[in-house]
Amino acid sequence: MNQQRNQTDSWMGLDGRVCVVTGAGSGIGAGTARELAALGASVALIDRDLETASAVAAAIRDSGGRAEAFKADVKSADDISTAAARIGDAIGPCHVLVNNAASVGYGGALLDGDMAAWSHTLDVNVTGALLCTRIFGRQMIEAGHGGSIVNVASICGRAPLPSGGAYSVSKAALVMLTRVLALELAEHGIRCNAVSPGLVHTTATEAAYSDSTVAQARRQIVPVGRIAEPVDLASVIAFLASDRSGYINGEDILTDGGFSHTLMTHVPQPAKPMRPR
Ligand SMILES: NC(=O)c1ccc[n+]([C@@H]2O[C@H](COP(=O)([O-])OP(=O)(O)OC[C@H]3O[C@@H](n4cnc5c(N)ncnc54)[C@H](O)[C@@H]3O)[C@@H](O)[C@H]2O)c1
């Protein structure tokens, strides 16, 4: 088993790479930090909540990995610059940036929802990802070793979430930000891709999954028959972070167990099947 894991580690080529994960104190970010560390990376966990990020980093170190937590709000260029300088000094320049931190609160209907919530969601989910990319992208360019940026988008960037305020709009924008950055950064050897999760059991969605009726109803609408766990996303993110995905650039990898492809199952059909004509 260990031997298999070691072979995977070297196959992925992430050993010793400095990987920065935002929103790493919980959910998909924490799962991604654990996965990257298990693959040999040195992981910098950024979160606005230092306590949770420190606990995840400590657990990674306890199991033999390399990880350190840093407090920063991705909305703040000052916070991110300070964290980036500290990460550069303590661990080394960034190879991989995972823009995962997001505001996932629902801001209400667009006609009369709270405008402050609208702005906050766009500031964190879109501008925050851009700020981190500018600051850590500069580190990658100065180090001259290229890199990989992975943005955590959502199926809501493809399918509109009503009453979700700016959430769907922000995730659609994040996917386009990914594509523009993919073109602009390619000359520096930096790739930029996105992952779009479907339904994932995390702190953010705990209310849905602690209600057994809602949880069961949700499982039933996903073709693979289960709700994703953070590791389901973490393994896709690790692949995009690694050189194994070296020819993938500007893509958005839908990771939703097939849920997005169920549209035609909603179309009412006549009792007598229609025959080909
Ligand atoms: N859970 C799902 O079903 C789901 C589905 C699709 C997409 N996503 C996306 O996955 C990502 C992670 O979501 P999750 O479910 O793991 O959420 P989560 O709430 O479990 O974790 C989010 C983490 O981000 C941190 N964070 C939030 N705002 C921040 C900020 N401004 N600066 C720094 N850190 C901040 C939080 O403290 C928290 O630790 C998000 O981008 C979310 O939009 C989640």
- Percent of the chain residues past pLDDT 70, beyond the cut: 97
- Name the CATH topology of 2-198+231-255: Rossmann fold (3.40.50)
Residues contacting ligand 1 via CB (< 6 Å): 22-23, 25-29, 47-49, 52, 73-75, 100-104, 124, 128, 152, 154, 197, 199-200, 202-205
Q: Is 247 labeled as catalytic in the residue annotation? A: no
pLDDT score for 2: 45
Catalytic residue among 106, 167, 209, 247: 167
Residues 221-256: pLDDT tens digits? 999 999 999 999 999 999 999 999 999 999 999 999
Q: How far apart are CA 52 and CA 250, in angstroms?
A: 31
User: Per residue in 5-54, pLDDT tens?
Assistant: 566 668 899 999 999 999 999 999 999 999 999 999 999 999 999 999 99
Q: What is the pTM of this model?
A: 0.96
Is residue 233 within 8 A of residue 200, CB to CB? The reply is yes
CA of 187 to the centre of ligand 1 (A): 30
Distance 254 CA to ligand 1 centre (A): 17
Domain ranges of the chain: 2-198+231-255
Rounded to whole angstroms, the Cα distance separating 45 from 100 reads 11
What is the per-residue burial (b if ≥16 Cβ within 10 Å, else e) of 222-258?
A: beeeebbebebbbebbbbbbbeebeeebbbbbbbbbe
Q: Is the pLDDT of residue 73 over 70?
A: yes
Say what the pLDDT of residue 1 is: 40
